[in-house]
Structure 1
């Protein structure tokens, strides 16, 4: 098919100057607003994270307040003392059950590492000084030539 040209009409450009200016203005607005929008979104996420952290801390505080209130009760304190410290009330006979297998392990001879730990700290220190002195001087290394 042949293109028909109408006399007196010039070919119109694809974009007019107004459309080009409008596109440039819109692109510049998008470029200008992109960074603040990104900052806004990241700050909102940070605020949400801080609120979640604050809620978690509030829950911990409430738990600690409940625990403190339990420790204000004398019966709770007595029960904990009996449980942890093996206290007994006057007139009671406390019993402690002992596992025979554990006592056999406890009376077994200690390995060399545990025997060393039973010594005072300064004995181990002087032993290490003596070992370092007995080792002799460090080997000399020849300087590298460049």
Structure 2
């Protein structure tokens, strides 16, 4: 038998084991499904607000934690550099405590001589201490006081 208008007639029976809902019961379920959807979205909205509130309340402490970890890493690096500097200074202190090192440096840098020892200072440019250019290197400028003295001498000469 054919169905007309989408509703089963009085003679039309559904197949075995198939139960066809009433028009009223089907309408109620459709309305319930429509009403269930807004309840789900309001729950989802509340859940979203709670998740956002938790995320916002955790954002600042997490940012501070990360900043503190970076600061700790920087401080550890500075501490390591300071320890290296202390080691270098301790070695330097030990060197300066050695009398022979002090004597060598005084002789080399300050041109001091021990008593009863003849010391020579070579004044020509070949000794490496003159104003001549090193081979293959740039020319050295004389010290400022020599330049000043030369300018005074040049101004003193008659023209």
With the length of structure 2 as denominator, give the TM-score of the two structures: 0.58
1:110 is displaced (CA, Å) by: 2.7
Which protein has the larger Cα radius of gyration, Structure 1 or Structure 2?
Answer: 2
Residues 5-49 of structure 1, C-alpha deviation per residue, up to 9 Å, x if partnerless? x42222242643322211111110001110111111011101110
Q: How far apart in 1 are the matches of 2:85 and 2:65?
A: 30
Structure 2: state its 5+ residue gaps: 1-25, 133-141
1:91 is displaced (CA, Å) by: 3.1
Q: How far apart in 2 are the matches of 1:79 and 1:90?
A: 14
Root mean square deviation of aligned Cα: 3.0
Q: How far apart in 1 are the matches of 2:105 and 2:96?
A: 9
1:60 is displaced (CA, Å) by: 0.6
Query: Which ranges of 4 or more aligned residues in structure 1 deviate by more than 6 Å?
Result: none
Residues 84-138 of structure 1, C-alpha deviation per residue, up to 9 Å, x if partnerless? 11112233221112245749x75996336xx8xxxxxxxxxxxxxxxxxxxxxxx
Residue 13 (1) aligns with residue 30 (2) = no
Paired residue for 2:65? 40
Q: How far apart in 2 are the matches of 1:45 and 1:30?
A: 22
